[in-house]
Structure formats: structure tokens, C-alpha cells
Chain A
């Protein structure tokens, strides 16, 4: 179980870090295995910061992130490596996730060298082919190529295959399909659902409500670093309580239904203080 307790992140800004910018404010939630958990927010909502804190690429300023009861902030080299055996990430920009001067399959070699040095080359090759197959990639199409010779969709699948080689429990998927074409997007999304069926916990970070709705069991709506609404996806989308959630839903470009209620979309007053989450119904909380 991956658990966030009152996590906040404040950045120092300006010269000598005199200014403060709060990116994440007092966020708590729990990520379970076998579940897709959507973190939905617009730019500046702190959603990616949360993902990066879970991957320990950033340290929270306050609060704790616990994996199996241990605070990940204190993990040292070996223990951190063990954590990464269980928790992995895929990022938004497939091209930037690869070192451009090396071939794309180097990400697998790195995993082999760092995590499984005892596995023989042949055995590794077999495991790699298995992993590629589970993300529907043909080894011949993708191995021994440079990143710029592959498509965005192929590159993202390779990264998911890399995570699978580690036999992970949790995957942080940070906007992984926002740079892909609509025609390949849905396949990568379905792949995340496959991972869930394999028992993995997926943290799906996105700005696209329809994508979050399509795939997730639990949804969190973030605004300026705070949770404004969270709960079972069907309840949050079916019965949105917070005006911000309602505004977001009204702004989604739908098929078969035109936008209406234009004035609402433009400006929503920003509350000085975010009220605490209250239970609207069972499994559905909102900050009202």
C-alpha cells in the first residue's frame, strides 16, 4: 500500500530562495494494488509534483509518503533501489525520456545491469521478449533503434515494458498519453487497464477528464495543490459537488453535446482558504 499523509511541497523561488511557492498543500490519499487512481488537475495543480514525490524524485516539504509502512523519505541507496523495484514511473514526453544519443533499448540494459546482474544474457532476452509482448510490441520493430526512429506510442510502451521487467507493484503514469495521437492513445490507456488486471496499482495523472473517467476506479480532483473533490470515479463524475469540478466537466469538449453555460467557464473565484474535505456520500468527499 502506498499512502500519502498530509503531504505538502513548497518551492523556494527567486534568488537565494527568498520566495515561497506552494505546489502541493496538505494532500492525503491511499493507493491500493489492483486499482487505477486518477489524479486530475489543470496546469499548476501540483499533480505532477505529487507523482514525482511518490517516485522520490522530489522530497515533500511536510507530511509523509509511506510504502508498506516505511517512510520513503529516509530510504538510502540499497533500500531505495528496492523501492524502485516496486514503484516505477512513465512520463509525459516519450522523446525526452530517452537519452537521445543512445539506442532506445538501452533502458532495458540499464535495468539488467542495475537490478538483475545475476541474470544471464539469454534468460534476460527471454524476459525482455515477454515484457515486449505484454505491451504488444514486436521486438524486431523496436530493438536496436534510436528513439527518433520510433513513434511516441512505441516509446511509451517500451517504458511500460521496462517497468514490467522489474515486476513492479505500482506505476506512476504522468500524462503518458497526452502527447500521443488519438488513434494510439486509447491503446496505451487500455494497456494501463491490463496492468490493473494483473494486480498493479496505477496512479494515472492527467488533465483530461474523459480519459480519467474512462479508466479509473478512484478520482482525485486537484486545484492549486489542494484536493477539492475525491472519491469513487462514478460518484465524482456522476454527481460532482465542488463548483470547480462542475466547471471542469462543463468545459470538456464532448461529442454529441455542445457546450452551454458559457459564463461559468471563464472565471471561478479563488477561495483564500481551502475548506476541509467532507463526506458527501459514502466514498465521495468534497471540499465545500
Chain B
């Protein structure tokens, strides 16, 4: 007897019902995900890009021939193999490569930390509000809305301007605790719609605790969503940091991609055609955020067994 459903005709609105290949062999969940992950071009592309940039951020500072803030080189030389100025120098003779890899490293730190903090707060607030509902939800919702309407960027400006010594970690924490509300709202809505599904009740009837239901039933349904949220928060943190740095409120003892762009603009790098100065930081931010997004689309296809069959 065939186990292939003829459901496509019953509900032609749902193309995912068209089942093509019955899973031939039972595989463990992880191995199966891996199996599909390695065959997904978007995921492989995004992952390679991000890993490449991460690798550069990690080992770059070690192989750079000069300290990022040293004024040792000739002024404004184009990328060359001579003297280790692989990406040229700035108008002041600083090594662009050293600055670039340092800035890239900082971008990853700000993104991971800022995005991570925001994701954590967003998840706690969103899951709790969506699952518990009732007055807990009302209070958390109110809190979310309050933080949401605070002009966070202005707040960041004020805080950044008043702090004497500005470090990257501080910047990341501030970004984290101000950028979670939309994530919390989105997660709350998702949780809300998932909690009303019968499989959550089925899990309750199986004696599962609320914590297990949230983490083993609801969260896996959102894994790609959570990842996307983290990516957007990660990218968002990088962009906010770049903006702050660009207007001169960046970390005071090092150099970030945003500061590189700020300095290049201040020194009229565009007019002087010093493209090697402003292009790498801009491209790096774009490439990083962009490939994270492509990776997310790929992951969605891996996580969702219905999309796999298409």
C-alpha cells in the first residue's frame, strides 16, 4: 500500500502537502539536519563567508606587520606587497590592513555580545509573556513597549558622550539592553500562536513540564526564527556601533570599522581617491550582515522538513 498522501488535491492551497520522496531510511535528527545542511547552497555560502571573515578577524591582527594606530608608514600608499602594507596606508601613514582586521574583530565582538544580550533578554521576555499570558504578559508587554518607545539612539548618544573612557564592551552592553524589544514582541507573538496549537496540549498530557515544553516543543519550531532574530540583532548591533563610531563616539583606545570610515570621510578619502581606506570597512559590514542573512534563509530550508521536499 502506498503511504504517499494525496492531500495536495484536498488542499491545493498548501503546496507543502505534495510529498515527493518518502524518507527512505530512519536517521537521527541531528544527522538528518546535517545531511540536508551540507546540501543547501545558501547555507554553505553564507557559512563560508562568515567563517572566512571570522577567521580573518581572529588571525588578522597576528599577521599584521604594524600596529593599527602606528604612524610609521609612508602616507597614502595604495595596496602593495612592499613593507607589509597589503591594504595600503591612510593619509597619516597608518596600516589599513591592521586597522581593518582589528575593526573586524571588534565588529564580531560587538555583534556577538550586543546581539547576544538583546537576544537573551528578548527570549526570556518573549517566551514568558507568550507562554504564561494573563497578567504576566500584560506587565512584560508594558515593559517592552516602554523600552520600545524610548529614543534609544539618543539615549546611547547621551550615555556615550558622558562616559570618560569608552570601551567596546560597554558599547556592546548598552546596545544589547536597548535593542531587545522588537525581538521580544516578535517572539511573544510566535509563542502565542504556537501555544494554542494542539501539540502543546499533547505534550502537557504527556506530563511535560512548562520549561520542557518551551524549550523542547516551542523553541525548536522557532529555531530558524531565533537564529534569524539573532542575526538581525547581531547585524543591528554592528550597524549601531558603526553609526556611533562614525559620529565620533566610538571606543577611545582602539579602532573600529565605523571609526575607519569616519576618519576616511574626515580626511576626504573619497575626493583623494584613497578607495582602499573606506571601501574595506564598508564592504566588510555589508558582506558580514548580508551573508548572515543568506545563511538564515538556507537554515530555514534545513529546519523546515516541509520546505525540504520542495
Q: Which residues of A contact B (CB under 8 A)?
A: 16, 52, 55, 57, 77, 80-81, 84, 88-89, 91-93, 96-102, 107, 110-111, 114-115, 138, 141-146, 148-151, 159
Contact = CB atoms under 8 A, between A and B. Distances in A.
Contact of B203 (A80, A91, A110): A110
- Which 4 pairs of residues, A with B, have the shortest CB-CB distance? A81-B207, A144-B26, A97-B198, A96-B198
B152 interface: no
A276 B238 CA distance: 68
Given A98-B202, A99-B217, 7 more contacts: A55-B205, A101-B304, A110-B203, A114-B206, A114-B207, A145-B23, A146-B306
A100 B306 CA distance: 9
Contacts of B209: 77
B127 to A, nearest CB: 16
B153 interface: no
Interface string B183-201: 0000000000000011101
A80 B22 CA distance: 38
B23 A144 contact: yes
Interface residues of B, number: 33
Given A145-B3, A150-B5, A151-B7, A115 B221 contact: no
Contacts of A89: 201, 205
B22 A145 contact: yes
Given A99-B220, A110-B206, A114-B208, A151 B201 contact: no
Contacts of B17: 148
Contact of B199 (A81, A84, A97, A143): A97
Contacts of B22: 145, 149
Interface in B296-310: 303-306
A101 B205 contact: no
A111 B206 CA distance: 6
Given A149-B19, A151-B5, A88 B205 contact: yes
Contacts of A97: 198-199, 202
B288 to A, nearest CB: 28
A144 B32 CA distance: 12
A57 B94 CA distance: 67
A66 to B, nearest CB: 19
Contacts of A144: 23, 26
B220 A91 contact: no
Nearest to B32: A103
A141 B1 CA distance: 8
Contacts of B7: 148, 151
Q: Chain B interface secondary structure, helix, strand, loop or mixed?
A: helix
Interface in B209-228: 209, 217, 220-221, 223
B243 interface: no
Given A97-B198, A100-B221, A84 B16 contact: no
B132 interface: no
Contacts of A149: 3-5, 19, 22-23
B273 interface: no
Interface of B: 1, 3-5, 7, 16-17, 19, 22-23, 26, 29, 138, 197-199, 201-209, 217, 220-221, 223, 303-306
Nearest to B14: A148
B199 A98 contact: yes
Contacts of A115: 206-207
13 contacts: A84-B206, A92-B198, A96-B199, A97-B199, A99-B203, A101-B303, A101-B304, A107-B206, A110-B208, A142-B3, A144-B26, A145-B23, A149-B23
Nearest to B7: A151
B303 A57 contact: no
B199 to A, nearest CB: 5
Contacts of B198: 91-93, 96-97
Contact of B305 (A84, A88, A101): A101
Contacts of A100: 199, 221, 305-306
Contacts of A151: 5, 7
A99 B221 contact: yes
Find the residue from B3, B202, B203 having the highest chain A CB count within 10 A. Answer: B202
A146 B197 CA distance: 17
Contacts of A145: 3, 22-23
B19 A148 contact: yes
A89 B203 CA distance: 11
A146 B5 contact: no
Nearest to A57: B201
A148 B4 CA distance: 10
Contacts of A148: 5, 7, 16-17, 19, 305-306
Contacts of A138: 1
B179 to A, nearest CB: 28
A115 B207 CA distance: 8
A36 to B, nearest CB: 20
Nearest to B21: A149
B201 A55 contact: yes
Contact of B138 (A16, A84, A98, A150): A16
Contacts of B203: 99, 110
A102 B303 CA distance: 10
B278 to A, nearest CB: 44
B201 A80 contact: no
Find the residue from B29, B197, B206, B209 having the highest chain A CB count within 10 A. Answer: B206
Contacts of B5: 148-151
